[in-house]
Structure 1
Amino acid sequence: MKVLCGYNVNIDAVYRMTAEEITGLVDLVDKGEMVDSIFDPPGEIRSLPDLVAGLVLHMQQGTGGEWFIYSDDIFRFLKDRYYEKSEVRLGGNMGIMANVMSHMGAEQVVMNAVGDIGAIRPLMSGENLVFAGGSAPQDASTSKDSNEIIHFVFDFSSGTRFEILRKEVIVPRENRFIATYDDINTELTITPEFEEYSREHVSEMDGAIVSGFNQLQDEYSDGSGYGERFERAHSQLKDWKALNTDLPIHVELGHFMSMEMGVFIFNELAGTVDSIGMNEDELVMLSELHGVPLDMIRKMDACAILDACVRCASSTGLKKIILHTRDFMMSIFAEGASTPVHEMEGMQFGVMCAAAFATSGKLPGRSQLEDSVSDLARSEEGMIQAGKVQDLIHGDEFEDGVCGEYKGYSVCILPTIICEDPVSTVGLGDTVSSATFLRWLELHRFR
């Protein structure tokens, strides 16, 4: 398979946030400022109390989140305190997805190579990668002028206990909070080399997978908004479709700074691309489109999630949505967009890749994939939710999952394979989505 891949890649500094560490951070900040940020979350980091509030909020709820850093001082604090103690890994939706597909057997993966590829390239394990663009290695200073693209990923574990303002917090589930320092991907930068290469070779490509729209900002320092930057990328996708009408394009949505931006971009992309992938937090963000009670989605109720996905697709004309959660994966698709066999086999491959990655932080070779997850079990909660969907749609059991029909859409749901003590949760969504897309392309191409 030959695949185009845009747009965001960065370096992740992954650090396990323990009870002792979060308590130490709380002790460093002004409690009044921290409380203000907890009760009125800024959604961005301009001070140390903002950072601590973001960590506390997401650890309390067990939810994933990403806040951007708008302070060089906070970036220096984080780099000095955590970088040397962190696991430095490949980051960025596009970077992870490109690496997964190339590692798992794609013939060629063409990357929109932004930033210091000299530093990023050694973090990639896949072969057959084409780096279209990228800068020369830069002097590693602690200023945004150096174009450092470091995202501090704070993983936290279920059951972690700490005290804040005399109240005990018990983390309900493992997840991660990301503090992002990035002036390149926030611009949705597209290299001239990627533009030229993709235009010249798109007719030879089997598919395209893109992401990074969630890095856009509501407002930039020059007073402009995200519209112009989004439209440049959107125009590129439209050009690809015009030049290769058979090119399947998948978008990974990501968590946006505002619901308004997320809904706008989803609506715009739905008329151009073939499928959009997301997790439950991102589906919550689209409540304006589906109107399903958010508490039901946050509780991972698969029937509510199914209803919300179908409403999002039917209201926008989108052909397919892939929804991935900790416990199950779901595909809903319109007639002609796919088949249950292709969807289930693609998702099966995807959840195996994600489980293998969660277990070790690395991907095995394709021939070792099944053996690498043979000791792991399907999610019990995922099986319960698949059973509820089966009752709702009167679906048929299909291998380890369920397939059927709901409000004019085909539905497939598959329980995930669970690693109870993951090395890291970051990148699992990108891993499962890109592996699923790769396998789907193989089946689609040779059907």
Structure 2
Amino acid sequence: MKVLCGYNVNIDAVYQMTKEEISALILMVDKGGLREKLCDAPGEVRSLSDLVAGLVLYMQKGTGGEWFIYSDDVFSFLKDRYYEKSEIRLGGNMGIMANVMSHMGADEVVMNAVGDIAGIRPLMSGGNIIFAGDSVTSSSSAFKPTSSTSSKEVIHFVFDFSRGTKFNVLGTEVIVPRENRFIASYDPINTELTITPEFEEYGLEHVTEMDGAIISGFNQLQSSYPDGSGYIERFEKAHSQIKEWKALNPDMPVHVELGHFMSMDMGVSIFSGLSDTVDSIGMNEDELVMLTELHGVPSEMIRKMDACAITDACVRCVSSTGLKKMVVHTRDFIMSVFREGSSTPNREIRSMDFGVKCAAAFAASGKLPERSQLEGSVKGLGRSKEGTIQLNRLKDLVHGEGFEGGLCGEYRGFSVCILPTIICDSPLSTVGLGDTVSSSTFLRWLELGS
């Protein structure tokens, strides 16, 4: 399989946030200011107290989130305090997905090479990757790096936290309900949705030879930039590239991973804009909540990972657009909702099964296995009990039948497939699992259609 892959790649510095460390950070900031920010979340990092507020808020809920860093001082603090103690990994949705597909058997993966590629290249385990452009810097970034900061330096500080971690904040005990991560991202390149000229040229020259394209990074866009512009112009440049690909190779499937946006309005706008161009869009349950304006399904039911609510939300989104398929991946199950003729239950379940096995293997060991060793690498890990419960609850709604460990049925004229994930109770890291399951599922889906 030959796959085009855009747009965002970076370096992840993964650090396990312990009770002792979050407690130490809380002691560093003004309590009154922290209290205000816990009540009215800033949503971005311009000070140390912003960072601490973000960590506390997401650890309280056990949910994942990402805030951008707009302060060189905070970036320097984080780099000095955590970088050497962190596990340095490949990051960025596109970077992770390109590596997964290459590692798991793609013949050629062409990636939009932005940022510190010299630092990123050694972190990639897959072969057969073409780096289309490796000398790009941002010309009009959301903030200008100072002379002490490389214009190519793109580091996302990923703070993993574990279920059951206890700490005190402002006199209240917090017990983390679920493992997850909070990301503080210093990213003057991907926030521009930078596309290298080489990636543009390669796509136009070779798109007719490609089997598929997988795109991400739209969630890195900012609602506004210092020059007074917004995200629309940057989005439309990328959208135009995808339209050109589809015009030259109409049969090439294009999948987009949505990601978590700065605002619901941005999420809805970009989902709606892409839906009539691309073939499928993937997301997690938190990202599906962002589309409430389109589907009207109560947010609390989606956040609870209620399979019936998620099915209803997906069908409402797909039916109001030209989209062929939506894929939602949660901790406990993965689901696809698709139009008649765009896929088959057999193809969906088999590709999703491959995807959840890749993600489980990565969660358990922190690295991808060789493809020939995939089955063995997940031995001893079981299917999610909650995912199985949700599958059984969905049976009546979709009039479904069991299929290869999953369930396939129909709802309001659309096909629905669900498969419980494979759970690792003590994952080495949660970061990148969504990108791993999405890209490996897409790769296998392409293979099954060839």
Calculate the TM-score normalised by the size of structure 2: 0.97
Q: How does 1:25-104 map to 2 (within 5 A)?
A: 25-104=25-104
Distance 2:106 2:128 in 1: 7
Distance 1:142 1:49 in 2: 25
Q: How does 1:428-447 map to 2 (within 5 A)?
A: 428-445=433-450
Q: How does 1:186-225 map to 2 (within 5 A)?
A: 186-225=191-230
Q: 1:153 aligned to 2:158? A: yes
Distance 1:171 1:111 in 2: 37
SS in 2 for 1:362: coil
Coordinate RMSD, CA, aligned: 1.2
Task: Tell me the residue number matched to 1:271.
Answer: 276
Distance 1:35 1:315 in 2: 42
Decide which of 422, 426, 435 is 2:431's aligned counterpart.
426
Q: 1:329 aligned to 2:334? A: yes
Q: Note if contact 1:117-1:136 (Cα within 8 Å) is conserved in structure 2.
A: no
Task: Tell me the residue number matched to 2:142.
Answer: none
Say if 1:88 and 1:142 are closer, same or farther in 2 by CA, change over 3 A: farther
Say if 1:136 and 1:41 are closer, same or farther in 2 by CA, change over 3 A: closer
1:100-157, CA deviations, whole angstroms, 9 ceiling, x for partnerless residues?
00000000000000012111000000000000001299xx998445321000000001
SS in 2 for 1:97: helix
Count of residue pairs brought into register by the alignment: 443
SS in 1 for 2:320: helix
Task: Tell me the residue number matched to 1:124.
Answer: 124
Q: 1:6 aligned to 2:6? A: yes
Please, which runs of 5 or more residues in structure 1 have no aligned partner? none
Q: How does 1:401-412 map to 2 (within 5 A)?
A: 401-412=406-417
Q: In structure 2, what residue type is equivalent to 1:11?
A: I
SS in 1 for 2:164: coil
Cα drift, residue 394 of structure 1: 1.7
Q: Note if contact 1:303-1:392 (Cα within 8 Å) is conserved in structure 2.
A: yes
Q: Note if contact 1:104-1:365 (Cα within 8 Å) is conserved in structure 2.
A: yes
Q: Note if contact 1:253-1:282 (Cα within 8 Å) is conserved in structure 2.
A: yes
Q: 1:413 aligned to 2:418? A: yes
Task: Tell me the residue number matched to 2:141.
Answer: none
Q: 1:311 aligned to 2:316? A: yes
1:203-230, CA deviations, whole angstroms, 9 ceiling, x for partnerless residues?
0000000000000000011110000000
Say if 1:87 and 1:438 are closer, same or farther in 2 by CA, change over 3 A: same
Distance 1:197 1:265 in 2: 25
Distance 1:42 1:288 in 2: 23
Decide which of 335, 338, 346 is 1:341's aligned counterpart.
346
Please, which runs of 5 or more residues in structure 2 have no aligned partner? 138-144
Task: Tell me the residue number matched to 1:183.
Answer: 188
Q: Note if contact 1:291-1:308 (Cα within 8 Å) is conserved in structure 2.
A: yes
Q: In structure 2, what residue type is equivalent to 1:108?
A: E
Q: Note if contact 2:96-2:436 (Cα within 8 Å) is conserved in structure 1.
A: yes
1:390-413, CA deviations, whole angstroms, 9 ceiling, x for partnerless residues?
122120001111000001110000
Distance 1:252 1:144 in 2: 30
Task: Tell me the residue number matched to 1:230.
Answer: 235
Distance 2:147 2:346 in 1: 50
SS in 1 for 2:97: helix
Q: How does 1:275-294 map to 2 (within 5 A)?
A: 275-294=280-299
SS in 2 for 1:304: helix
Q: How does 1:369-388 map to 2 (within 5 A)?
A: 369-388=374-393
Task: Tell me the residue number matched to 1:258.
Answer: 263
1:37-71, CA deviations, whole angstroms, 9 ceiling, x for partnerless residues?
11111110111111000000000001000000000
Cα drift, residue 73 of structure 1: 0.4
Q: Note if contact 1:72-1:143 (Cα within 8 Å) is conserved in structure 2.
A: no
Task: Tell me the residue number matched to 2:403.
Answer: 398
4+ residue stretches of structure 1 with deviation over 6 A?
A: none
